[in-house]
Amino acid sequence: MQRKPNIDMFGAISLIGFSVLLGFNQVVIKVVNGGLQPVFFAGLRSLGVIFCVWLWIRLRGRKLDFKPGTIGAGILMGVVFAFEFICLFMALDLTSVTRTTVIFYSMPVWLAIAAHFLMPGERITPIKAAGLLMAFAGVSWAIISRGSGGEGSLTGDLFALGAAFGWAGITLVARATRLSEVRAEMQVFWQVLVSAPILLAVAPLFGPLVRDLEPVHLWGLGFQIVVVVSAGFIFWLRLLSIYPASSVASFSFLTPIFGVFMGWLLLGETLSPSLILSLVLVAGGILLVNRPVRAPQAVP
């Protein structure tokens, strides 16, 4: 398909569907954590994705591209990736899907703040500043307003925040180093290639590797490897190759909404008024942060 200047019906439906998939993904992680220790689970997932991404590259008639000058950045990206998913999988083990989703998907906020200082041309505009304040208020309120129903955990919330920081860090490494010169699938290959041994090595520090393992947990692991990370990533790349990146990013505010809805619908988690307020603030903030900046019109 040729590149398009705006999101059409296919693009809108695809991006909404992808947001639903990411929201459902949090539920899958929560369920699989019941059978596999979270960090061990994350390591197995990275190990499986290594093969899937390699197979995708080969089927496309390409080769693994270890460009000179990218190895150090690739290792750094993999280490940050390992940190992100230790935090995310532990967050989903310690607190609810709804709370983790609200905090984790605040990532664009932390990325915008870091990019303002570290990357030329990524300045915070007044509209972005308003979005940052909204989302920051939402995250802060989610953390301090834990209810007494047993679903909230300060440790879990902080793990979710750490995962958001890690996700922002990966994006910065991808943009600010020579990894920006390699294809996106190669960036993902670096992430899983480096993170798999790290996650599997540190997993014993987080407790027994196997819990009450049942077939549903293995199906969930396979779903994570094949559908979410491998196929989902390839589909996301395809959308980015067709539509403007800013337009694609503008749909990111839907993901925390679907994630919270899935946690409530499938796991019966509580939707308190304070959590709904946090969700509205974070989603609205993400929408403002990702709002395209209009170019100034020339004076006639």
Looking at every residue in the chain, the average pLDDT score rounds to 88
pLDDT at 293: 57
pLDDT at 300: 37
> What letter would DSSP give residue 181?
G
Tell me the average pLDDT across 114-133. 86
Domain segments of the chain: what residues?
9-289
Give the pLDDT confidence of 217-251 residue by residue, as tens digits.
999 999 999 999 888 877 877 787 788 766 777 78
Whether residue 150 is predicted with pLDDT greater than 50 in this model: the reply is no
Whether residue 149 is predicted with pLDDT greater than 60 in this model: the reply is no
Q: What are phi and psi of 210, to 5 degrees?
A: -120, 135
In sequence order, which residues have a C-beta less than 8 Å from that of residue 196 and are 6 or more positions away?
43, 46, 47, 50
Residues 142, 275 contacting (CB under 8 angstroms): yes
pLDDT at 151: 61
pTM across the whole model = 0.90
Tell me the average pLDDT across 111-116. 86
Q: How far apart are CA 280 and CA 148, in angstroms?
A: 22
Give the pLDDT confidence of 78-101 residue by residue, as tens digits.
999 999 999 999 999 999 999 999
